[in-house]
Chains A and B, each alone.
Chain A
Amino acid sequence: MNRRRFLTTTTMTATAMSLGLGKAAWAADPLKVAFMYVGPVGDMGWSFQHDQARLAVDAAFGEKVATSYVENVPEGPDAERVLTQMALAGNKLIFATSFGFMDAVMNVAAKFPDVRFEHATGYKRADNVATYDARFYEGRAVQGTIAGSMTKTNKIGYIGSFPIPEVVQGINAAFIHARKVNPNVEMKVVWAYSWFDPAKEADAATALIAEGVDVLMQHTDSTAPQAKAKDAGIISFGQASDMASFGPTPRVSSTIDNWAPYYVERVKAMLDGTWTSQGTWGGIGTGMVEIGVITDAVPADVKAEAEALIASIGAGTYHPFTGPLNKQDGSAWLAEGEVADDGVLSGMNFFVEGITAQMPQ
């Protein structure tokens, strides 16, 4: 028995097994789609948003798809096993929603050539592996504009998760746009070295507040920093999900990861038989990055400025990384009017001029 044949047989057995559970019907023969999350679906941030998009897929296709998920999967050998379990269980499209799942996705994809994989925020692709990511830095540009206008102490605090390009882009974009509206602004950065760790995030927020920041940004997924900001009477921004329950203040706005349109589009492509491997990098324009309601705590003129920025980024007439910009060490990066190319951005490992925080090495 060759391997492909073996896989089909086992897949059929697995499908039959799951059908025995009474959830699905033979006649519908639904497309099985699985999602692997790095955090709990109740994190109210990153994994929560991915699961919201999964529910959107359920709603959009009804009986035609059967979705399932495994949450809290550690990045490493466990990820590889869970992906294999998903493939063996007959899933034909699998979304792996954390950067650290990359090698696991590549390994499992090589063993299951007829299963399609979608890997969030990674950079390795294959015939059956597509990647997708959002231009979160577009949202940071908006936050920076509001933050720079509203700070009284001229100090903005930023809780970073890991010094990887996606996070560095956000810090740079926020700083550039805060400086544009307030030349005296300073940015303080604390690294939590975690995507989701309420205790660590709260500690980081406390440390930043003690240093005198009165605007808090976070690239971590829990609401712990929001609670600290509320206690301290300063302002903050929702991250990944809207975190609207912390509005109108401290949460004055938010960046929302909206994966739903992309997931629906990709599942539709599977159903239509038009799925191909590709790299997607969506932003405000495609709806993948959404800006949550700017509350009344923000002065009207600042709000108008932020909304104009959202409109110009969404329309593609303005790019948050437009020259003249220098690197932190003073060397030239972008000339007047020059726009950063995606290659440089996706490997961004330097701060722009004016940020005093050191990049961890």
Chain B
Amino acid sequence: MIRLIARPAPSRFWLWATPVLAVLATMVAGAVLFAALGTDPLEALKVIFWDPLLGANAGYFRGQLLIKAGPLMLIAAGLAVGFRAGIWNIGAEGQYIVGAICGAAVGLAVYPAESVLIFPAMVVAGALGGWAWGMIPALLKNRFGASEILVSLMLVYVAQNLLAWAAFGPLKNPAGFGFPGSRNLQQYPSAHNGELIAGSGLHWGGVAALAALVGTYVLMSRHIAGFRIQVAGDAPKAARFAGVAPARLVAFCLGLSGALAGLAGMFEVAGPSGQITDAFGAGYGFTAIIVAFLGRLNPIGILLAGLLMALTYIGGDMAQLMLRLPAAAIQVFQGMLLFFLLGFDLLTNYQVRFGGRVGA
């Protein structure tokens, strides 16, 4: 028989081995899935994981990888800090949307003026917008004890309605023949968040993502605030004795993750997306939760997980196109990744013993 024995402390080895194992298991299960759909499984895995990195036209796809991974990493960096403290911001998608609306609104308000100050002002507005949206669940939690999980999640739907209102109302392109959607910021030089090096896919959002990962790394490993966050998550009572003010911690974590999500939205709307439309929110805020956990709430892990997640999206589109795999198969494939990760996480906290009797 198989028995599970709780480990005294989480295994360091399995902490890092489980994501790798989860990726491998996903590949194997994915191969079975693809084979069942009548596609050559090795060909499918090659198209998803190999071609975007090293196949034909990889030069284009590597840049796209960065464009897709940037917002995921930027949002996940902030979420990981809160998750460490046991503060669950599930509403990054809403903060991402509000950040984008605020950032775009500042740029569009001064259209068509040209100034080097416009883009920095948009950055500030985007961060503030996301921060403010994150502070709503923080305030409600601190004031009334409302669950930040539910409030932040519900605010995503509010943000989506706000987005539709902005796209159809105040931010609608006056030169758009009555069609919804804002002016395209890509055609407005002062507000455009273009590629920093042509063809590289790197825009200010990517730079901000790397900065956020470095920043949160320093915060968590070198700063007293990081220690407090860690303690609050591991042992809330001990944290209180150590003088951690829970209310301040809630405000800090939700504010930080909100601001970073808002920044991600702002860089996206000013860059790759270009427009505020009702369909602007494409789920980055939710996918970033997977990225944060896949990366073990650790900045380096998030960097790798963000790139991996982006790879499955881009490779997944390729597989649809080249191999005629249905989109649902790709989504199942992505879902399996989180499923296996959570499953294998058992090994971090438990030892598995085969056979034998319960010890004397």
Contacts and interface: CB of A to CB of B under 8 A. Distances in A.
A361 interface: yes
B13 interface: no
B60 interface: yes
Interface in A65-118: 68-78, 80-82, 84-86, 88-89, 99-100, 103, 107
Interface string B24-68: 000000000000000010010000000000011100100010011
A73 B322 CA distance: 16
A77 B67 contact: yes
Interface string B177-200: 111110010100000000000000
Interface stretch (B104-112, B127-135, B253-261, B276-284): B276-284
Contacts of A165: 177-179
A202 interface: no
A162 B278 contact: yes
A17 B161 contact: no
B327 interface: yes
A8 interface: no
Contacts of B178: 164-165, 347-349
A81 B64 contact: yes
A70 B277 contact: no
Given A17-B55, A89-B321, A162-B168, A75 B279 contact: yes
A341 to B, nearest CB: 14
Interface residues of B, number: 43
Contact of A77 (B43, B273, B278, B322): B273
A31 interface: no
A273 interface: no
Interface string A323-361: 000000000000000000000001111000000000011
Nearest to A191: B164
A14 B279 CA distance: 31
Interface stretch (B233-241, B312-320, B337-345): B312-320
Given A70-B321, A70-B327, A88 B177 contact: no
A193 B273 contact: no
B230 interface: no
B60 A361 contact: no
Contacts of A71: 320, 326-327
Nearest to A41: B326
Contacts of A18: 322
Contact of A80 (B57, B181, B272, B277): B272
Given A68-B324, A70-B327, A162 B57 contact: no
Contacts of A193: 161, 164, 278
A102 to B, nearest CB: 8
Contacts of A346: 177
B275 interface: yes
Interface in A115-155: 123
B211 interface: no
A267 interface: no
B90 to A, nearest CB: 19
A361 B178 CA distance: 11
B268 interface: yes
A289 B191 CA distance: 42
B275 A103 contact: yes
A13 B320 contact: no
Given A88-B57, A103-B274, A76 B317 contact: no
Nearest to B316: A70
14 contacts: A21-B322, A40-B328, A41-B326, A75-B279, A78-B313, A80-B272, A84-B60, A85-B317, A88-B57, A88-B60, A103-B274, A165-B179, A347-B178, A360-B168
Interface of A: 10, 13-14, 17-18, 21, 34, 40-41, 68-78, 80-82, 84-86, 88-89, 99-100, 103, 107, 123, 162-165, 193, 346-349, 360-361
Given A68-B321, A81-B317, A163-B180, 5 more contacts: A14-B56, A17-B56, A76-B275, A78-B282, A347-B178
Interface of B: 40, 43, 55-57, 60, 64, 67-68, 161, 164, 168-169, 177-181, 184, 186, 268, 272-275, 277-280, 282-283, 313-314, 317-318, 320-324, 326-328
